[in-house]
Structure 1
Amino acid sequence: MKHPLMLVALAAPLSTPVWAQTDSQLLEPTVVTATRTAEPAGETLATVNVIDRAEIERRQARSVPELLRTLPGVSVAQSGGPGQSASVMLRGTNSDHVLVLVDGVRVGSATLGTTSLHDLPVAQIERIEVVRGPRSSLYGSEAIGGVIQIFTRRGGGALTPRFSVGIGEFGTATVSGGLSGGGERAWFNLGANFEQTDGINACAGRAVPYAGCGVDQPDRDGYTSQGVSARAGYAFSERAEVEFHLLSAESANDFDGSAFSGNQARASQQVIGATATLRPLTAWTLSLAAGRSWDDYRVFYDAAAAGAFDRFVDRFQTERDSLSLQNDVTIAPGQLVSLGIDYADDRVGGTVDYLEEARDNLGVFGQYQGSFGAFDLKLSARQDDNQQFGSHTTGSAALGYLFANDIQVALSYGTGFKAPTFNELYYPGFGNTALDPEQSESVELMANGRLPLPGRMIGDWQLSLYQTEVDDLIAYDSATFAPANVDSARIRGLEAAAEVRWDDWTLAGNLTLLDPENRSEGANDGNLLPRRAEQSLQLDLDRTLGRWRAGATLQLVGERYDDLANEVELDAYALLDLRAEYAFNDALRLQGRLANVLDETYETAYLYNQPGRAFYLTLRYQP
Structure 2
Amino acid sequence: MSKKFYFILIALLVFVNIPLFCTNIFAAELRDSLFTLEEIVVIASKYPQELLTSMASVEIINRKDIEISKSENLSGIIKNIAGLEITDYGSPGDIKSVSIRGSSPEQVLIMIDGQVVNDPQTGKIDLGLIPVSMIEKIEIYRGPASSLYGANALGGVINIITRSGREEKKGTVGAYFGNYHTQKYQAFYQNRSNDLNYFFSGEYYQTEGDRENSTLDKISLMGKISKEIDQKTDLDLSIRYHDYQRGIPGSLYYPTPNAQQNDKNINLNLKWQKREENKDINIMAWYDFHRLYYDNPDAWGHTGPSIHKTHTTGLSFDSTHYSFSFDDDNTESGHTLTWGGDLKYHWLDSTDIGNRQDLNGAVFIQDVWQPAELEKLSITAGLRYDYHQIFGGQFNPRVGISYRLQDELSFYASVGRAYRAPTYDDLYWPEDGYVGGNPDLLPEIAWAYEAGIRFMNEEGDIQAELNVFRKNVNDLINWAPDSEEVWRPSNIGSAQIDGVEVVLKKEFNEHFIGNLNYTYLNALDLDTGNQLKPKHKYGFGLAYSNQFGESKDDFTMGLNGYIVAGRPNNLNNYYLFDVNMDRDFTVNKEKDRKIKLSFSVKNLFNQRPELVSGHPIQGRTFLLGISADF
Same fold (TM over 0.5): yes
SS of 1:584's partner is strand
Q: Distance in 2 between matches of 1:397 and 1:269?
A: 38
Measured at CA, do residues 226 and 413 of structure 1 come closer, stay the same or move farther in structure 2, by a change above 3 Å?
A: same
> Any residues of structure 2 matched to 1:474-513 within 5 Å, and which?
474-480=477-483, 481=486, 482-501=488-507, 502-513=509-520
Indicate the residue corresponding to 1:207 in structure 2: none
Give the C-alpha shift of residue 311 in structure 1.
Answer: 8.5
The corresponding residue for 1:7 is none
Match of 1:125 among 111, 131, 135: 135
Aligned length, in residue pairs: 567
Instruction: Pick from 268, 273, 283 the counterpart of residue 269 of structure 2.
Output: 273
Counterpart CA distance in 2 for 1:31 and 1:186 is: 26
Per the alignment, residue 359 of structure 2 pairs with 360
Q: 1:262 Cα shift?
A: 6.4
Maintained 8 Å contact 1:549/1:581: yes
Distance 1:600 1:65 in 2: 18
Are residues 1:233 and 2:197 paired? no
Return the alpha-carbon distance in structure 1 between the equivalents of residues 412 and 159 of structure 2: 23
Matching residue of 2:378: 376
Cα distance between partner residues in 1 of 2:629 and 2:523: 44
In structure 1, the partner of 2:556 is 549
Instruction: Report the equivalent of 2:204.
Output: 194
Query: Aligned AA for 1:473?
Result: L
Q: Distance in 1 between matches of 2:86 and 2:468?
A: 21
Residues 500-548 of structure 1 show CA distances to partners (whole Å, capped at 9, x for unaligned) of 212211121111111111112xxxx11111xx32111112122223343
Matched, 1:614 2:625: no
Distance 2:629 2:57 in 1: 32
Same amino acid, percent of matched pairs: 22
Distance in 2 between the 1:435 and 1:47 partners? Answer: 31
Match of 2:530 among 521, 527, 538: 527
Q: Deviations over 1:10-48 (max 9, x none)?
A: xxxxxxxx9952499646253322212223333332111
Matched with 2:422 is: 420
CA, structure 1 residues 571+328, in 2 after alignment: closer, same or farther (shift >3 Å)?
Answer: same
Cα distance 1:622–1:393, how it changes in 2: closer, same or farther (>3 A)? farther
Q: 1:56 to 1:315 in 2, by over 3 A?
A: same
Instruction: Work out which of the residue numbers 95, 108, 130 in structure 2 matches 1:85.
Output: 95
Matched, 1:111 2:112: no
Aligned partner of 2:453 in structure 1 is 447
Is the CA contact (8 Å cut-off) linking 1:261 and 1:313 kept in structure 2? no
Give the deviation of 1:294 after TM superposition: 2.0
Per-residue deviation, 1:350? 2.2
SS of the residue 1:62 aligns to: coil
The answer to whether the Cα contact below 8 Å between 1:169 and 1:614 also exists between their aligned partners in 2 is yes
Matched residue of 1:560: which SS? coil
Q: Are the equivalent residues in 1 in contact too, given 2:579–2:602 (CA < 8 A)? A: yes
Q: Give the TM-score, by structure 1 length.
A: 0.86
**Contact 1:457–1:500, Cα closer than 8 Å, also in 2:** no
Which is worse superposed, 123-132 or 38-47? Answer: 38-47
The whole-number CA distance in structure 1 between the counterparts of 2:546 and 2:30 is: 12
**1:105 touches 1:293 (CA, 8 Å); kept in 2?**
no
Residues 91 and 152 (structure 1), Cα distance of their counterparts in 2 relative to 1, 3 Å cut:
same
Give the letter for the 2:107 counterpart: H
Shift of 1:187: 2.0
Offset at residue 139 of structure 1 (A): 1.2
- Asked if residue 317 in structure 1 is aligned to residue 312 in structure 2, the reply is no
Please give the alpha-carbon distance, in whole angstroms, between the structure 1 residues aligned to 2:471 and 2:604: 36
Q: TM-score, normalised by structure 2?
A: 0.85
From the superposition, tell whether residues 245 and 40 of structure 1 become closer, same or farther in structure 2 (CA, over 3 Å).
Answer: farther
1:301 corresponds to 2:296: yes
Once the 2 structures are TM-superposed, how far is the Cα of residue 560 of structure 1 from its aligned partner? 1.6
CA distance in 2, matches of 1:134, 1:457: 28
Range moving further from structure 2, 255-264 or 219-228? 255-264
Q: Structure 1 residues 289, 438: closer, same or farther in 2, change over 3 A?
A: same
Matches within 5 A, 1:15-26: 20-22=29-31, 26=36
2:21 aligned partner: none
In the other structure, the counterpart of 1:205 is none
- Cα distance in 2 between the residues matched to 1:537 and 1:598: 17
Residue 442 (structure 1) shift: 0.6
Q: Give distance in 2, aligned partners of 1:401 and 1:150.
A: 29
Q: Is the 8 A contact 1:20 1:504 kept in 2?
A: no
In 2, the alpha carbon distance for the partners of 1:312 and 1:192 equals 33
2:249–2:256 CA contact under 8 A, matched in 1: no
Q: Which residue of 1 aligns with 2:245?
A: 252
Shift of 1:325: 1.7
Higher mean C-alpha displacement, 587-596 vs 484-493: 587-596
Write the deviation string for residues 417-447 of structure 1: whole angstroms up to 9, x where unpaired.
1111111112222121211110001111111
**Cα offset, 1:278, TM superposition:** 3.2
Larger CA deviation: 338-347 vs 443-452: 443-452
Alignment of 1:145-160 (within 5 A): 145-160=155-170
Distance 1:327-1:348 versus aligned 2 partners, 3 A rule: same
> CA offsets per residue over residues 563-600 of structure 1, 9 Å max, x none?
xxx3xx22111222222221112632211112222222
Unaligned runs of 5+ in 1: 1-17, 202-218
8 A Cα contact 2:205 2:218, kept in partner: yes
User: Does structure 1 retain, via aligned residues, the 8 Å contact 2:517–2:538?
Assistant: yes
Spell out, residue by residue over 1:273-302, the C-alpha distance to the aligned partner (whole angstroms, 9 max, x if none).
1111235x6423332111122222101236
Which of these residues, 432, 436, 439, is aligned with residue 438 of structure 2? 432
Q: Which residue of 2 aligns with 1:216?
A: none
Q: Distance in 2 between matches of 1:425 and 1:405?
A: 51
Which amino acid in structure 2 is aligned with residue 446 of structure 1?
A: G
8 Å contact kept, 1:475–1:485? yes
What amino acid does structure 1 have at the position aligned with 2:501?
Answer: E
Measure, in 2, the Cα distance between the counterparts of 1:132 and 1:622. Answer: 37
- Offset of 1:312 from its aligned partner? 4.4
- Give the letter aligned to residue 124 of structure 1: M
Map of 2:45 onto structure 1: 35
Whether the 8 Å contact between 2:28 and 2:547 is mirrored in structure 1 is no
Q: Is the 1:168–1:615 Cα contact (8 Å) retained in structure 2? A: yes
1:405 shift after superposition = 5.1
**2:56: which partner in 1?**
46
User: SS in structure 1 opposite 2:72?
Assistant: coil
Cα distance in 2 for partners of 1:552, 1:231 equals 33
**Cα distance in 2, alignment partners of residues 599 and 572 from structure 1:** 15
- Please report the RMSD computed on the Cα atoms of aligned residues, expressed in angstroms: 2.4
Query: In the alignment, which of 472, 477, 491 is matched to residue 475 of structure 2?
Result: 472
Q: How does 1:132-147 map to 2 (within 5 A)?
A: 132-147=142-157
Task: Name the counterpart of 1:181.
Answer: 191
Q: Could you tell me which runs of 5 or more consecutive residues in structure 2 were left unpaired when the two chains were aligned.
A: 1-26, 325-330, 549-554, 587-591
Matched, 1:291 2:286: yes
CA distance in structure 2 between the partners assigned to 1:160 and 1:582 by the alignment: 19
